[in-house]
Structure 1
Amino acid sequence: MSFLSDDLLARIHARAPDYDRNNAFFSDDLVELTGAGYLAALVPAEFGGAGLSLCDVVHEQARLARAAPATALAIGMHLIWTAVAKTLHERGDGSLDFVLRDAAAGELFAFAISEAGNDLVLFASSTEAAPLPGGGYAFTGTKVFTSLSPAWTRLGTFGLDATSADAPKLVHAVITRDSPGITVHDDWNTLGMRATQSRTTTLDGATAEAWRVYRRLDPGPSADPLILAIFTNFEILIAAVYAGIGDRALELAVQATTRVSRSTGAAKSQDPLMRMKIARAAMAQDAVWPRLEALADDVDNRVDHGDQWFRKAAGLKLAATQSARIVVDEAISVAGGASFAADSELSRLYRDVLAGGFHPSTADSAHQAVATALLGPIAK
């Protein structure tokens, strides 16, 4: 049984064009998704949530992305935090149990991880994390691509402590929206995924209380369970969004073949060239879902892939985003000139799907991760 109702998804689908056209945040969608209990979908029942599995939510995210990709991508950032907390909790690590409790209470979590020019992502930070008396930290720096900017209430972030006796350490913590020193810039005006409103966030001494500081790690690659949990859940849930885009694009392509050709008098579905394009799109899409479900199941079932997790997760995300682009391209080719109109759904999907190349892992870093897993690091 689906968690999100068809009626809810239909309303979200109807609002998507206006959010995109007006470069507006998906406020009404968020109200309805919150009311449906979706913020706590992954939260275990013992914490007051719905207790869905990661594989369950992968399917819900794909359904949501078919209706409104930007809404799915943005709410997915919150779901990633709950997935990380759930993953750690199920493996005996309660350091992020407070995230599960907060999500069940209606708090909305956002990512403040990405920094301009920082291609090391979780392994380095240009943000300063200054220790405070009592164990808290004050963060100063600029974070980019902070989805849910108009509405988040909890901000997962990290920065570099360069002053403590055991420095340097990368400090991971959660900041609440009411902390002084947070500026959310109104600077989101992009080609696609516009309703996410993933604005730049400046931290100027924004503080995290000691009990919300959950890791201090050495810079560089880390085998800490937190890093693995963030990476795997991020890649899987991002892949689910693009799998949903591919599903919808294929559906629209099939619908477009009902048009009748003036030259032949037959439906486009009878044109061998159109049939080849549909088949090519379908085969690209069909290759994604078994891989996506299998890796989500592995997280749910606590399968230990050791150092191959990064290879598997990065490869999945890249395959899902690249396949979605193939499907959208083929769908536009089948639909023809009508899809070039700015108000065409395929036109919006074409713009939205381009964002897939910018989420970590990029194509370059994914190939490096896979090569390193198979061949070891490059000799220095």
Structure 2
Amino acid sequence: MTGFDPAAFLPDDLLDRIRERAPIHDRDNTFPEADLADLREAGYLSILVPTELGGAGLGLAEASVLQQRLAGAAPATALAVNMHLVWTGVAKVLTDRGDESLRFVQVGAVAGEVFAFGISEAGNDLVLFGSGTDAAPTAEGGYAFTGTKIFTSLSPVWTQLGLHGLDTTSPDGPKVVYAFVPRGEEAAGRVVSRDDWDTLGMRGTQSRTTELRGAIAPADRIARRLDPGPNPDPLVFGIFSVFEILIASVYTGIARRALDLAVEAAGARTSKKSGKPYSQDPDIRWRIADMALAYDAMVPQLDALARDVDRMADHGPRWFSLLAGLKHRAVVAAKSVVDDAVLVAGGSSYFSRSELSRLSRDVVAGLFHPSDPESAHSTVAAAWLGPLAE
């Protein structure tokens, strides 16, 4: 990252505006339209697109740093934008490996398209390796998708929905089909976004449920047809690696903000017993040191794995356990740091007007993103102990 300046992409004045809006969107349960507009104008939607196509040409390691920085200002905005960056990141992973099949994603991002991530389905613990959504071939070579996707961030604003479904009718089926459904007049009635996002935290993401009623992905937007189950295809690796790293980045950014707020609170609060600021209290100092120890461990891990993806390092079958473990540790560490920050700040953090109150609700969402704790432990156990016996 020689010469990389995060402030050049996310200047302080932009982050200040985004931070000021965050509590409003949390309170009103609204999407941060102005944040997206500012980020689009700053070229943020195309940071992972090559310079020759009009993007910033950054790598995943730089994007991780930026997402940490953005999450420190507004976690929900960062998490929402994350889903767009996942697809542009997957396109980069493929392009770096000589595969131009998602070039249209890169071109679209530069043109202002917003890509949403339509993979999650209720009860589908297969995630990338299967789908409860039906993918029916069309006469024109595309696919019609029918099913329900959950946690579709960017629901009010996306223009392209990257998704998957299962083709069970083709002669070579079943196949898991990855494709992109455009939003427009032709999608009216075929793509329905429920207004059902009323959650504990991360309210600004507006990750609503999406009903697909024969939603059409044209032939030129079919990215892959893969056999169900674990698959070494670069698209699967791209989705898993970019998703896990950028998700971990958001929650690491939350941890850093909570740590900063705890340090600020320790300096501002005074003990009635000693007359000294809490920053001089041994117990408070131990707690903040413990928070810093947890946070400091995450940043180099993120950087190392993101750089390995950028450099096309070969971790072989260990890749998935390394990535799942990274995301799991980041979320667990972030939640612990936020919990300790609340204790350092005291009872004022229990009021809804407190930023720490919001962070304590936002950080909980990390538990539900793939890989969840059960999946992460299963993946890591298999890497070290081998698969379960039949």
Q: Shared fold (TM-score greater than 0.5)?
A: yes
Q: Per-residue deviation at 1:25?
A: 0.4
Partner of 2:12: 6
Q: Per-residue deviation at 1:277?
A: 0.6
Partner of 1:123: 129
For residues 89 and 269 of structure 1, what CA distance do their matches in structure 2 show?
A: 50
1:188 is aligned to 2:197: yes
For residues 21 and 150 of structure 2, what CA distance do their matches in structure 1 show?
A: 26
- Match for residue 47 of structure 1 among 40, 48, 53: 53
Q: Per-residue deviation at 1:263?
A: 1.6
DSSP 3-state at the match of 2:122: coil
For residues 369 and 32 of structure 2, what CA distance do their matches in structure 1 show?
A: 20
For residues 323 and 32 of structure 2, what CA distance do their matches in structure 1 show?
A: 28
Partner of 1:197: 206
For residues 303 and 388 of structure 2, what CA distance do their matches in structure 1 show?
A: 32
Partner of 1:221: 230
1:106 is aligned to 2:112: yes
Partner of 2:242: 233
Cα deviation, 1:242-295, whole Å, max 9, x if unaligned, reads: 010000000000001121111211110111110111011110111111101000
Q: Give the structure-1-normalised TM-score.
A: 0.99
DSSP 3-state at the match of 1:287: helix
Q: Per-residue deviation at 1:134?
A: 2.7
Q: Per-residue deviation at 1:48?
A: 1.2
Q: Give the structure-2-normalised TM-score.
A: 0.97
Q: Over the residues paired in the alignment, what is the CA RMSD in angstroms?
A: 0.7
Q: How many residues align?
A: 380
For residues 226 and 306 of structure 1, what CA distance do their matches in structure 2 show?
A: 15
Partner of 1:288: 298
Q: Per-residue deviation at 1:376?
A: 1.5
Partner of 1:260: 270
- Match for residue 318 of structure 1 among 317, 325, 328: 328
1:365 is aligned to 2:367: no
Q: Per-residue deviation at 1:53?
A: 1.2
Alignment of 1:129-278 (within 5 A): 129-178=135-184, 179-180=187-188, 181-258=190-267, 259-278=269-288
Amino acid at match of 1:273: D
Amino acid at match of 1:104: V
For residues 232 and 59 of structure 2, what CA distance do their matches in structure 1 show?
A: 24
Amino acid at match of 1:343: R
Amino acid at match of 2:369: H
- Match for residue 23 of structure 2 among 17, 22, 37: 17
For residues 112 and 189 of structure 1, what CA distance do their matches in structure 2 show?
A: 19
1:333 is aligned to 2:343: yes
Partner of 2:102: 96
For residues 200 and 257 of structure 1, what CA distance do their matches in structure 2 show?
A: 41
5+ residue gaps, structure 2, are none
For residues 240 and 136 of structure 1, what CA distance do their matches in structure 2 show?
A: 35
Cα deviation, 1:155-196, whole Å, max 9, x if unaligned, reads: 001101110101101111000001240000000000000000
For residues 316 and 234 of structure 2, what CA distance do their matches in structure 1 show?
A: 11
Amino acid at match of 1:129: A
For residues 112 and 54 of structure 1, what CA distance do their matches in structure 2 show?
A: 21
For residues 4 and 342 of structure 1, what CA distance do their matches in structure 2 show?
A: 27
Amino acid at match of 1:241: V
1:345 is aligned to 2:355: yes
Cα deviation, 1:93-139, whole Å, max 9, x if unaligned, reads: 11111111111111000011111111111111110000011310000
Cα deviation, 1:60-117, whole Å, max 9, x if unaligned, reads: 1000000000000000100010000000001011111111111111100001111111
For residues 269 and 202 of structure 1, what CA distance do their matches in structure 2 show?
A: 52
Partner of 2:79: 73
For residues 174 and 310 of structure 2, what CA distance do their matches in structure 1 show?
A: 34
DSSP 3-state at the match of 2:346: helix
DSSP 3-state at the match of 1:219: coil
For residues 33 and 320 of structure 2, what CA distance do their matches in structure 1 show?
A: 34
For residues 283 and 308 of structure 2, what CA distance do their matches in structure 1 show?
A: 39
For residues 66 and 55 of structure 2, what CA distance do their matches in structure 1 show?
A: 16
Structure 1 residue ranges (4+ consecutive) displaced by more than 2 angstroms after TM superposition? none
Identity among equivalent positions (%) equals 60
Q: Per-residue deviation at 1:5?
A: 0.7
For residues 347 and 258 of structure 2, what CA distance do their matches in structure 1 show?
A: 15
DSSP 3-state at the match of 1:160: strand
For residues 220 and 341 of structure 2, what CA distance do their matches in structure 1 show?
A: 50
For residues 359 and 322 of structure 1, what CA distance do their matches in structure 2 show?
A: 12
- Match for residue 298 of structure 1 among 308, 317, 335: 308
DSSP 3-state at the match of 1:257: helix
For residues 114 and 255 of structure 1, what CA distance do their matches in structure 2 show?
A: 38
1:37 is aligned to 2:43: yes
5+ residue gaps, structure 1, are none
Q: Per-residue deviation at 1:373?
A: 1.3
Q: Per-residue deviation at 1:39?
A: 0.4
For residues 99 and 389 of structure 2, what CA distance do their matches in structure 1 show?
A: 35
